[in-house]
Amino acid sequence: MNKIKTSIILAAVLASAVFSGSALPAAAEPVEIVALGDSLSAGYGLAPGEAFPEQLQAALRERGYEVNVANAGVSGNTASDGLARLEWSVPAEADIVIVELGANDALRGIDPAVTRQALSEIVTKLKGRGQAVLLAGMLAPRNLGHSYAEQFDTIYADIAAEQDVALYPFFLEGVVTVAALNQADRAHPNAEGIAVIVESILPDVEALMAGIIAAD
């Protein structure tokens, strides 16, 4: 078939699609992810591109995903702070929200019941919008005593089970006790520490993305 005939046939196909009202396949929209968190998401002490949302986005794109990961982390935020700014921090068009809050609650010794209520409300609101949730857990410092730790540590698994959302049990898993993966303050991961977190949490994020992509 010569080039002239090929062009005529292609033009006819396009014209047929237009006049019959048939739409040509649309390009897939990127999956929109928001990391709603504190300094661990915001990137405290890190250079541009090294924060958790940025490294997660880079890792997902390397795997071929069309995805944007927005950084909605604010240093110093408690779970209640995250709840208070939820409406303007997380856009309605977000597909997935990673909720990474609670570390500052534990550091300040806030009543675990207050943290539980705030996180529960955040998840409820996000689910009400139809957004998928990945709840990133936190553990209480052991110097606050066994009773406090026992009350705090169960918050995340309980909420995940009650509200049927995905759970990543401990955001700092594999990082918190490794000096080489933390900044000098020993409270915030360095770029290498964030990379470890991203590698560990990636399967959970990909599982949620698979559901979003399949639904589209």
Residues involved in catalysis = 39, 185, 188
What is d(CA 43, CA 66) in angstroms, rounded to the nearest whole number? 23
Distance CA 69, CA 125 (A): 20
Which of 179, 204, 194, 170 minimizes the C-alpha distance to 55?
194
Alpha-helix residue ranges (DSSP H) falling in the chain: 3-19, 39-42, 52-62, 79-84, 86-89, 103-107, 112-128, 146-153, 155-163, 191-215
- Our CA angle for 104, 123, 73, nearest 5°, is 40
Q: Give dist(CA 153, CA 166) in Å, integer.
A: 16
Give the position of tokens 């909720």.
99
Half-sphere exposure of 68 (CA within 13 A, CB side): 10
| CB contact at 8 A, 90 and 126 | yes
The tokens describing 96, both together, are: 């997935």
